Each structure stands twice: as structure tokens, then as C-alpha cells.
Amino acid sequence: MGDRKAEGLLRKLLTSPAPDIRALAAMGLGLTRNRAHADSLAELARSAEAGAIARAAAVQAIGELGDDGHRPLLLALTDAPETEVKLAALLALSRLRDGARTGTVPDDVGPMLSRAILGAEPDMRRTALAAATATVTGDYRRTGAALPVPDGMIAAGEVLRSLAPRGYTKNEQARALAALREPLAKEALAAVATSPERARVVSELTTSKLEGLLGGASGALDGATSRELAGVSEAIAKQSVNGFVALARHPSVDVRKSAVEFLARRREPEAQRALVSVLSDRDPEVCKTALASMGAVNEPETIAAVVALVQKSQSWSIRAHAARALGRIGKLDSAESNTSVDSALRKAAVSDAFALVREAALVSLTQIDRAAALKLLQQVAASDAEPQIRERARELAREAKP
């Protein structure tokens, strides 16, 4: 209400039987900036009977007061069972900066923010990133009045959400993630080891080099910040490899597929060994996922396993996937591997019983070396039994000519 005379009334409303009234009273007391109300708000925050919104509002209000004396309570409530209370605790902690330097995150808050940023709940990820950015910039930014005069019905939950910080740029959010580099890497290891769902989040975020977290922010990343963010993503991915290796043996097919999508992008020996192992998975869909996810690989064992699938797999679909994978892998460091890939693809292009496998082999040969593939393309264009393959070979030959 913006008037010190209202504080006594707001304190009385903290004991209202209506949860929304208690919540609004707590928010009002927080915005007074009068730390004399901190103990009453802490009592409400601890009350399991008060309701999630009222407790969350009390937690948020403690942050508004900047009352560092209740920091242990706020830290404990980041593990509260109610999502609203957890979100409010993260935001409240971002307001407590006694002794903290701009550009850093306190050691006791970093792990909690990191856990939420790598969590399975999108709202929690967004709020944690906003809290981290407020902490690192030292600016708990709002785009309007904290409690504007309402027009129509009032929902305490919506009012509470309006108190969250917003309006940060992509560069500001990226710098906040960079400040959390170490706790994010440690939390990623725990996330992958304990929850396939959170492991999927880690995989998706590292695929986008963490830029997937910045979706709603304004502006564009500058070059230096983009590289710094990519470095954080790499640190998270590197720390997570062993966890994904374990998940590649998970009983669930979907979990194994998600794990191999991540491992196919990694160059660590343990990741490549796990990838070779899943190429003989009991479920062919896992093998296909691994092949479809492969990019540039230079491990001879991995190349040999994919070549063997082109040559020997009983499934035409897997042979086609393997042939396409070899094209994406491209030129290799090992002359021996290059020879074996070229030989397997040339044989498949002219003698495999399935047209889709022959086509995949032709496309891959063209991707690897257009000039070297030209003669074979002309041969197939003149002699393949399938009109579609002859036409496809002619198209590729035209593209391959200098």
C-alpha cells in the first residue's frame, strides 16, 4: 500500500483464514523493506498448514527485505516439496548479496541454482536462470511496478509470479551460466546418474550449447560470450560422459536411445566404446539411433563396427543407416580406415539387394569425395536394375562433375 501506517494492518492479515489474503499481506510486508517483519514472515514460511502460495509469498518477502539472517531457512526451502516455495526460495536468495561480489554466485547458492537449471521442470529452469542472472548482475530487474493497481480479479499466485525478475539480455544470462560453470558440471554428473529424465535435459541442453536456456531473452550473443557459453556446455558434457555410458545399458529402450544420441557426439574413448557396444543392441532401433546420431568420428574401432554393419547386417534398414553414417563421418585420419569405408560403400552401391541401401551408399561416396565417386556413379546410372536409382546416380554425377 506504500504507507507505513498500513504495516500493522498487513501484519494482522498474515493470520487471515484465507490463504490468498495471507499471501498478499506477506508480499506487502516484503515491499515495505522493514526488516522488523522478517521473523513473522519466517514463521509463515515454516508453517506447513499455511498453504503453498502463502508460504511462497512469505519466502519471497524475506528476499525483498534483504534479510540475510534467515538465509539458512531460504537454503532449506529450496528443497521444499511445493514447487512454488522452491521457486520463491531461489529468487529470495538472489536478493541476499551481503559481502557478495557482482559477477559471482555464493558457494552455498550455486549448487542449488545449478540443480534447478538442469532440472526436469521448465518453470524451475527459467526461474533459476533468472535468479542466477539477478545474482551475477547485482540487479534484481523488474519491468514495471512491483504491485500495480489491479484491474479485475486478483489471483495471489499470478501476483507472486509478477515479482520475479525479468528483462535480462542473452549476454547477461550467458554470463550468469558462465559464473556457474563448476557447480553446473558437478550437478550434471549427479543428474545423469540419478534420473534418466534429467539426463535427457542435460543431453538436450548440451546439444544446443546451452543456448536453449536463453530462448526468451532479448539481444544476440556476442562472440566472446558465445564461446564462453560453449565452454560451459563442454564442461557439463565432459563431466556427464560416464553417466551416459551407464545409461546406454539401461533396461528402457527410450533411455538407451537418448544416451546414445549424446555419446555419438563425444570423442572420449569410453563414449566410443559404448557406442560400438550399442551397435549390436538387442533392439534394432537403438542401433539405428546410434547410427543416425553419428557425426565426425575418427576412432578406428567405431569405423570398423559401422563398416561391418554395411557389409554383414541382416537388416537392410540398418545397412542403409550405416551407409549414411559413413557419409556423414567423411574423410578419416587413417588411410586404412578410408580404404575400408570406400570399399564397403562401393560394394554396397553396386551389389546390395535393396535399392535404398545402394542409394545410401552412392550418396555417402559423393559426400566423402565427389571426384572419386564420379566413375562409379556413371556406371550405376547405366546399369542399375531400378530406374529410380539410375536417375539418382545421374543427378549425383551431374553434381560431382567439376
181-228 pLDDT, tens per residue?
999 999 999 999 999 999 999 999 999 999 989 977 888 899 999 999
| Residue range 137-154: mean pLDDT, rounded | 80
Band (99; pLDDT cuts 50, 70, 90): very low
- Site of grid cell 533392439: 283
Domain membership flag for residue 60: yes
pLDDT of residue 1: 62
Give the contacts of 259 (CB within 8 A, at least 6 positions apart): 199, 203, 244, 245, 247, 248, 250, 274
Name the strand (E) or helix (H) holding 171.
Answer: helix 170-179
Span 249-269, pLDDT tens digits? 999 999 999 999 999 989 899
Span 43-87, pLDDT tens digits? 999 998 889 999 999 999 999 998 889 999 999 999 999 999 999
Number of domains present in the structure of the chain: 2
| Residue range 277-296: mean pLDDT, rounded | 91
Domain membership flag for residue 363: yes
Domain membership flag for residue 253: no
Residue 19 lies in domain: 1-95+140-162
- Site of grid cell 534467515: 70
Q: Give the Cα separation of 88 and 74 in Å (integer).
A: 9
Collapsing DSSP to helix, strand or coil, 280 comes out as: coil
Q: Give the Cα separation of 285 and 62 in Å (integer).
A: 52
- Of 116, 131, 162, which closes a domain? 162
Domain membership flag for residue 279: no
Q: How far is CA 32 from CA 25, 43, 92, 161, 329, in A?
A: 11, 18, 15, 18, 62
Domain membership flag for residue 134: no
Q: Are residues 3 and 150 in the same domain?
A: yes
Q: Give the Cα separation of 78 and 80 in Å (integer).
A: 6
pTM for this model (two decimals) = 0.83
Q: What is the CATH number of the domain that holds 76?
A: 1.25.10.10
Based on its alpha-carbon atoms, the radius of gyration of the chain, rounded to whole angstroms, reads 29
Domain membership flag for residue 303: yes
DSSP 8-state symbol, 35: G
Domain membership flag for residue 340: yes
Closest CA to 94 of 68, 124, 125: 68
Task: Give me the sign of the Cα torsion angle 304, 307, 313, 316.
Answer: positive
Let me know how long the chain is.
402
Band (101; pLDDT cuts 50, 70, 90): low
Domain membership flag for residue 4: yes
Band (157; pLDDT cuts 50, 70, 90): confident
pLDDT of residue 67: 83
- Of 105, 129, 162, which closes a domain? 162
DSSP 8-state symbol, 391: H
